[in-house]
Structure 1
Amino acid sequence: MESLVKASRENDVARIVLNRPELNNALNPQLIDALRAALDGTAGDATIATVVLSGEGKSLCAGADINRMREAATFTRDDNIQDALPLSKMLAALDRLPQTTIGRVHGPIYGGGVGVVAACDIAIASADATFCLSEVRLGIVPGMISPYVVRAIGERAARRYFQTAEVFDAHEARRIGLIHEVVEPDALDERITKLLKQLRSAAPGARAVAKKLAGDIAGRSIDDALMLETSQLIADVRARPEAREGLTAFLEKRKPSWS
């Protein structure tokens, strides 16, 4: 049986591919566990700087597996909690991955698939991608994905799309903040290749710190404590070998070692 998640590597780039194309990479427990394992295996590898997440077939991820949802209708409350936790933990693992994550977004993206997109650092979508937070149509809510989706699109847009279950296109997804760029379908891989080249100009260690910084300070008041924390952070980062190499390379008018 072919693996539900395919992982490969090109230099400092890991590629993780959801591989359940016959069901548009719908999330069932096995796929969730396989993706979590791939993410966990990547997180501790300091030689990987970027992760590209994509899906085989017609969609990155079309949401939850309907067959599994049918089974869950008979679960007890405790059963449902235990059933939901793996998705929550997988999304957290994706969100907290120290490497830069790029979502290669195409096809219909529903429910949990929207959560996967929102948990990526950068999301590049094909113009044919469509999105839907469809849970209320089934009498449920977008629970586990909500922290990531609301962070991406804001409360105002979430209040609309959580309740209406409207299908919206890639341009609307960009407008509300779910994705960063929309490109034509045949230009999607080329755009990601260019983005990978751009990322290589940035120090991988600094990128990891910058990613964590963005999450840590989001929503905080700009007070004395925050000013001290950020001053301490830059002092610590400036002392790193990576920073010394970056400054030396700039002064010597050469590319740094990571570029």
Structure 2
Amino acid sequence: MTYETIRCATDARGIARLTLARPEKHNALSAMMISELSDIAGRLAADATARVVILDAQGKSFCAGGDLEWMRQQFTADRQTRIAEATRLAMMFKLLNEMPKPLIARVHGNAFGGGVGLISVCDAVVAARSAKFGLTETRLGLIPATISPYVVARIGEARARPLFMSARIFGADEAHAAGLVTTVVDAEGLEAAIDNEAASYLAAAPGATGRAKRLARSLGLPITDAIIATTIERLADSWETEEAREGVSAFFERRDPSWRT
């Protein structure tokens, strides 16, 4: 299978490299990338030769969030279209979250918005010390709704509240303290740390590994279809506010929104 926005290859050890491949767009999540990530998540889940999946990215950034053209389309769409697109995004996160394989993120550069969502559905996250993170939606008058169940499951409500509300950028050490990142290393040690993390899963029985993941998920914060649907409705509501119209317009017009002081 050939993809336009991602790459995937599995080596002889059973380690699959799933790479975000839109470096010129800082690997922002476009409609095509959402579709392709959903497809590969299903394929990897069913592939007995893939025992560990590493999610990494080309270029300067891990993932800058939503693609600008995709956002522009949402800005002019009606409510039902926005709900349909948000549902496609939500199902992508759900497929990755429920993949019965260890999923390891290799993070460098910026991980904003949906990029934090991708990190949150991974089982382990190895980040360069120089990496930057942010849930930046409120700067646009929006909310991090679609990714919120996974982020809260990852770091807890208390940690999520100020990050959701303030949209501030934070570093790898704070991401580690919050539980978003499991290991922080200098950039030159990133690949070695990824290899060490992957090797630990290769020592375990692959079937038992998948069952253990499902067990842990069943004991954690529930992420049901009803919860996902509710977050999508809240996002649709948010898009219809005056703040969203002002915030997104300001973003595309390269000016400060009215509330910026």
Q: TM-score, normalised by structure 2?
A: 0.82
Q: Distance in 1 between matches of 2:176 and 2:11?
A: 29
Partner residue of 1:73 out of 68, 72, 75: 75
| Structure 2 gap ranges (5+) | 223-261
Aligned length: 220
**Other-structure match for 1:167:** 169
Q: Distance in 2 between matches of 1:179 and 1:85?
A: 26
- 1:211 deviates by 0.5
- 1:70 deviates by 1.9
Per-residue Cα deviation, 1:73-95 (whole angstroms, up to 9, x for no partner): 11111111011111101100100
- In the superposition, relative to structure 1, how do residues 2 and 200 fare at CA in structure 2: closer, same or farther (>3 Å)? closer
**Other-structure match for 2:106:** 104
Partner residue of 1:194 out of 196, 200, 203: 196
The answer to whether the Cα contact below 8 Å between 2:53 and 2:103 also exists between their aligned partners in 1 is yes
1:15 corresponds to 2:17: yes
Q: Distance in 1 between matches of 2:4 and 2:82?
A: 26
Q: Distance in 1 between matches of 2:196 and 2:163?
A: 32
Q: Distance in 2 between matches of 1:117 and 1:101?
A: 10
**Other-structure match for 2:95:** 93
1:38 corresponds to 2:63: no
Q: Distance in 1 between matches of 2:11 and 2:3?
A: 21
- The structure number with the bigger radius of gyration is 1
Q: Distance in 1 between matches of 2:167 and 2:70?
A: 20
Per-residue Cα deviation, 1:142-174 (whole angstroms, up to 9, x for no partner): 011001001111101111010000100000000
Which deviates further from its counterpart, 85-94 or 197-206? 197-206
Per-residue Cα deviation, 1:37-60 (whole angstroms, up to 9, x for no partner): 111111111222110011100111
Q: Distance in 2 between matches of 1:35 and 1:219?
A: 24
Q: Distance in 2 between matches of 1:87 and 1:106?
A: 23
Which deviates further from its counterpart, 64-73 or 169-178? 64-73
- 1:19 deviates by 0.3
**Other-structure match for 1:210:** 212
Partner residue of 1:179 out of 178, 181, 185: 181
**Other-structure match for 1:4:** 5
1:158 corresponds to 2:160: yes
- In the superposition, relative to structure 1, how do residues 205 and 188 fare at CA in structure 2: closer, same or farther (>3 Å)? same
Which deviates further from its counterpart, 147-156 or 67-76? 67-76
**Other-structure match for 2:65:** 63
The answer to whether the Cα contact below 8 Å between 2:41 and 2:99 also exists between their aligned partners in 1 is yes
Q: Distance in 2 between matches of 1:218 and 1:55?
A: 28
- Aligned CA RMSD, in angstroms, stands at 1.4
- 1:219 deviates by 5.3
| Structure 1 gap ranges (5+) | 221-259
| Runs of 4 or more above 6 Å deviation | none
Q: Distance in 1 between matches of 2:105 and 2:215?
A: 20
Counterpart AA for 1:203: A
Secondary structure of 1:48's aligned partner: coil
Secondary structure of 1:54's aligned partner: strand
Q: Percent identity?
A: 40
Q: Which has the higher contact order (CA 8 A, sep 6+)?
A: 2
Counterpart AA for 1:148: Y
Which deviates further from its counterpart, 175-184 or 200-209? 200-209
1:54 corresponds to 2:56: yes
Counterpart AA for 1:120: C
